């Protein structure tokens, strides 16, 4: 863990003038530029910003943005941070990049016996990863044996309001039980305080100090299982509802490709997505305009079920290595618990191929965007399969509406350019 860093690499110090100006504009006479000329980015402006934030008017600080590099952090941290939905992320892809030499993060509070057990298990999983690739398994499938201690690197761009919330969650909320997350939160707070001293301390007094989520107390051996989805809630009649919304705005017809289809945002759909890998969970989390419930990573480890790629199943030797990896990790995690390792630290034993259920709710506009990306032939095969299952559930319910949805090529030219699969769908249901 001693290498994990969160570094603010881009921040605009001049943004304080805009933040202070926005704090003044709602209560003072003058044009935007006249008010801006009164702000100088000084101590007076800082006092004003702190006062306005303390009164609950937090939108003013959204004008300050940051670019952050998460350097050599664990995938456990990555999963925690990217649940911050009002931010932008770019992550080093484990589908395309070889992670053989990436290394892993070890929790600092481990005893010597715990550390030996931990490092033995992690090194074994990296060896399995290399063996699978040597046998011809693609990187995107071999990655499923990589543990959540794997070092990850990614960039995040976020406004100050959302960053304050993230830092508080890392220091005082559900991240507090994970020393790596808490330490990274401390690093970010120290850097943030240089620009806005006292702001986070003030917010921390009001931040709800969450109790840790209930964690599983035992770990069992799982089996390979296939992902699925269940439609939990949807409008009774999508077409009638959509027609009513169009009637309200005066539209006679609404195409799904319209530039401003706000009517689509009035309809919401909720799914329980079943048995998707932790790697696949990340694909869902990256969609910002959704509501998402994801259980703790430790639950995936505890329940033990895992995805088995066809590329692995096709090579008997690879399948044997793959299955043994999950069995061995279960045994290693149990022994770690027996040695007194806390469940938060045992979470690092989770492997990318371990499966979780999640709940996701999205409006119809986002649903169209989701299906454009995730039913595409170039989408990762696991989420592609689950997305088609979700779409089929909707189409079975209301075929006149949902058989019109599908990948981007259904609506027009493929946006992938030279990365196109070269086999566009004539319609979404041709196969």
List the one residue out of 277, 56, 36 whose CA is nearest residue 148.
277
Does 428 reside within a domain?
A: no
Could you give the strand order of the β-sheet that contains 290-293, starting from the edge strand earlier in sequence? 228-233, 268-277, 355-363, 290-293
357: Cβ contacts below 8 Å, ≥ 6 apart: 272, 273, 274, 275, 276, 295
pLDDT at 133: 98
Does 232 reside within a domain?
A: no
320: Cβ contacts below 8 Å, ≥ 6 apart: none
Task: Tell me the mean pLDDT in the region 106-123.
Answer: 96
| Predicted confidence band of residue 229 (pLDDT cuts 50, 70, 90) | very high
pLDDT of 257 over the 80 cut: no
pLDDT digits (tens, 9 = 90+) for 125-170: 999 999 999 999 999 999 999 999 999 999 999 999 999 999 999 9
Quick check: 252 and 351 in contact, CB under 8 A?
Answer: no
pLDDT digits (tens, 9 = 90+) for 172-225: 998 988 999 999 999 999 999 999 999 999 888 888 776 667 788 889 999 999
How buried is residue 187: exposed, middle or buried, by Cβ count under 10 Å (0-12/13-18/19+)? middle
Spatial separation of the C-alpha atoms in residues 18 and 428, rounded to whole Å:
47
Cα 193 from chain centroid? 26
Name the pTM for this structure: 0.91
Task: Tell me the mean pLDDT in the region 226-251.
Answer: 93
Does 425 reside within a domain?
A: no
| Predicted confidence band of residue 252 (pLDDT cuts 50, 70, 90) | confident
Report the percentage of the chain scoring pLDDT > 90: 76
How buried is residue 74: exposed, middle or buried, by Cβ count under 10 Å (0-12/13-18/19+)? buried
pLDDT at 244: 92
pLDDT of 430 over the 60 cut: no
5 SS3 class: strand
pLDDT at 131: 98
pLDDT at 116: 96
Does 9 reside within a domain?
A: yes
Task: Tell me the mean pLDDT in the region 306-332.
Answer: 98
Q: Among 12-26, 108-122, 153-167, 316-330, name the one with the lowest average pLDDT.
A: 12-26
Domain span at 28: 5-89+151-206
| Predicted confidence band of residue 347 (pLDDT cuts 50, 70, 90) | very high
Cα 277 from chain centroid? 13
pLDDT digits (tens, 9 = 90+) for 33-46: 999 998 998 999 99
Counted domains in the chain = 1
Does 136 reside within a domain?
A: no
Task: Tell me the mean pLDDT in the region 52-81.
Answer: 94
Quick check: 404 and 256 in contact, CB under 8 A?
Answer: yes
pLDDT of 419 over the 90 cut: no
pLDDT of 320 over the 70 cut: yes
| Predicted confidence band of residue 278 (pLDDT cuts 50, 70, 90) | very high
pLDDT digits (tens, 9 = 90+) for 359-368: 999 999 999 9
Task: Tell me the mean pLDDT in the region 310-317.
Answer: 98
Cα 239 from chain centroid? 32
| Predicted confidence band of residue 256 (pLDDT cuts 50, 70, 90) | confident
Does 284 reside within a domain?
A: no
Q: What is the rounded average pLDDT for all residues in the chain?
A: 92
Task: Tell me the mean pLDDT in the region 379-386.
Answer: 96
Does 110 reside within a domain?
A: no
pLDDT at 2: 63
pLDDT of 303 over the 90 cut: yes
Does 413 reside within a domain?
A: no
Other Cβ atoms closer than 10 A to 73: 26
CATH number of the domain that residue 176 is part of:
3.30.1360.170
pLDDT at 55: 86
């Amino acid at each position: 863990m001693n290498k994990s860093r969160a570094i603010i690499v881009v921040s605009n110090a001049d943004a304080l003038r805009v933040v202070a100006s926005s704090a003044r504009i709602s209560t003072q006479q003058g044009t935007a530029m006249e008010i801006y000329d009164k702000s100088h980015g000084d101590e007076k402006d800082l006092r004003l910003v702190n006062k306005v934030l303390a009164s609950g008017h937090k939108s003013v600080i959204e004008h300050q943005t940051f670019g952050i590099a998460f350097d050599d952090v664990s995938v456990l941290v990555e999963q925690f941070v990217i649940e911050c939905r009002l931010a932008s992320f770019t992550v080093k892809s484990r589908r395309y990049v070889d992670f053989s030499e990436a290394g892993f993060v070890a929790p600092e509070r481990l005893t010597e016996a715990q550390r030996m057990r931990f490092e033995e298990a992690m090194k074994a999983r990296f060896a399995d990863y290399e063996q699978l690739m040597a046998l011809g398994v693609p990187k995107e499938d071999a990655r499923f044996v990589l543990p959540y201690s794997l070092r990850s690197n990614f960039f995040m761009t976020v406004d100050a309001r959302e960053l304050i919330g993230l830092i508080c969650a890392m220091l005082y909320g559900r991240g507090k039980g994970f020393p790596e997350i808490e330490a990274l939160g401390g690093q970010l707070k120290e850097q943030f305080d240089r620009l806005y001293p006292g702001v986070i301390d003030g917010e921390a007094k009001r931040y709800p100090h969450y109790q840790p989520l209930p964690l599983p107390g035992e770990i069992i051996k799982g089996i390979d299982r296939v992902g699925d989805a269940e439609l939990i809630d949807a409008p009774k009649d999508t077409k009638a509802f959509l027609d009513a919304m169009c009637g309200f705005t005066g539209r006679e017809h609404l195409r799904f490709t319209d530039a401003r289809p706000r009517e689509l945002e009035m309809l919401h759909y909720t799914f329980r997505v079943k048995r998707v890998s932790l790697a696949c969970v990340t694909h869902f989390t990256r969609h910002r305009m959704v509501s998402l419930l994801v259980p703790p990573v430790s639950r995936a480890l505890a329940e033990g079920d895992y995805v088995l790629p066809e590329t692995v199943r096709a090579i008997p030797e690879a399948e044997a290595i793959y299955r043994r990896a999950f069995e061995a990790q279960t045994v290693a995690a149990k022994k770690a618990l027996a040695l007194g390792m806390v469940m938060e630290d045992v979470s690092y034993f989770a492997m990318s191929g371990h499966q979780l259920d999640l709940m996701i709710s999205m409006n119809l506009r986002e649903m169209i965007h989701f299906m454009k990306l995730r039913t595409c032939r170039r989408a990762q095969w696991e989420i592609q399969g689950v997305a088609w299952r979700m779409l089929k559930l909707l189409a079975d319910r209301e075929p006149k509406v949902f058989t019109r949805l599908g990948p981007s090529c259904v609506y027009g030219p493929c946006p992938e350019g030279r990365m196109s699969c070269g086999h566009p769908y004539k319609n979404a249901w041709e196969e």
